[in-house]
Amino acid sequence: MLASIEVFHELKKKDDDVFAWAKVRKETLFREIDDAVQNEVVRIMQIYPKLVDTGKGKSGGDPFVIAQALASTPQLVVITQEAGGSADKPKIPFVCDREGIRHINLLTLIEEEDWSF
């Protein structure tokens, strides 16, 4: 399991329990942006410019999540709680579907990995 460092930066803005959990795992969970990911981010933003709401400063990590999945070999599965999206209001699942990336929610991950608590 891994995530883009951009996700860490988004979590840091809230500074809550999720960020505290992520902070302990920063070195092992979060990956810096390499050239392959950066190239995918540029391509994704050219095709889906509304993926990031620059006016509100929201969803800045979304293209990095998608790009990380695309740039990885084998291709990664994206875990997201978002649903839907459209060409006018793209969200992670919409872009993943268009780019051929498998995406699931957290509950599906837990079930597929057979985690128990």
Alpha-carbon distance of 11 to 20, in angstroms, equals: 9
Q: Which has the closest alpha carbon to 47: 95, 85, 108?
A: 95
Structure tokens at 22: 């992520």
Tell me the percentage of the chain whose pLDDT exceeds 90.
Answer: 87
C-alpha dihedral (43, 55, 32, 36), degrees to nearest 10: 0
pLDDT of 61-85, one tens digit each? 999 999 999 999 999 999 999 999 9
pLDDT of 2-27, one tens digit each? 999 999 998 998 889 999 999 999 99
Q: Which has the closest alpha carbon to 69: 60, 78, 61?
A: 78
53 pairs with which residues across the strands? 58
